[in-house]
Structure 1
């Protein structure tokens, strides 16, 4: 599952769902890093 984080970052009105997914992914990655 590819993670389009950069291209979706600027366009907030284009695909908010993708932006939200990216945000969730970032939170999960942060959590994993903290757990490690």
Structure 2
């Protein structure tokens, strides 16, 4: 069970990081236009 929890945690961290990058890029894009 611990392995599953760790995998889910890593997945959540990856999704959060990806979302942060997308939001950051979106803000930069809005700034250019």
TM-score, shorter chain, exceeding 0.5: yes
Specify which structure has the higher proportion of helix: 2
Structure 1 moving runs of 4+ over 2 Å: none
* Higher relative contact order structure (alpha carbons within 8 Å, sequence separation ≥ 6): 1
Measured on the aligned residues, the alpha-carbon RMSD in Å equals: 1.3
Q: Please list every run of 5 or more consecutive structure 1 residues that lacks an aligned counterpart in the other structure.
A: 1-12
Structure (1 or 2) with the larger CA radius of gyration? 2
Q: Name the count of aligned residue pairs.
A: 24
